[in-house]
Amino acid sequence: MRSLTAFLRALAPIVVIGASLGTTLLGGCGLLPGEIDETAGWTPNKLYAEAKSSMADGAYDKAIKYFEKLEARFPYGRYAQQAQLEVAYAYFRQQEAASAIAACDRFIRLHPNHPNVDYAYYLKGLANFNAATPSMPSRCWSINIPKASTRPTQRRA
Q: Give the model confidence (pLDDT) of 55-74 as tens digits.
A: 999 999 999 999 999 999 99
**pTM of model > 0.85:** no
Q: Kindly list the distances between the CA atom of residue 30 and the CA atoms of 40, 84, 143, 144, in Å, as whole numbers in the listed order.
A: 20, 32, 57, 55
Q: Give the model confidence (pLDDT) of 102-128 as tens digits.
A: 999 999 999 999 999 999 999 999 999
Q: Give the model confidence (pLDDT) of 4-16 as tens digits.
A: 666 656 666 665 5
Domains and CATH numbers, the chain: 44-131 (1.25.40.10)
Q: Kindly list the distances between the CA atom of residue 78 and the CA atoms of 53, 83, 154, in Å, as whole numbers in the listed order.
A: 18, 9, 12
Whether residue 100 contacts residue 91, with contact meaning beta carbons closer than 8 Å, is answered with yes
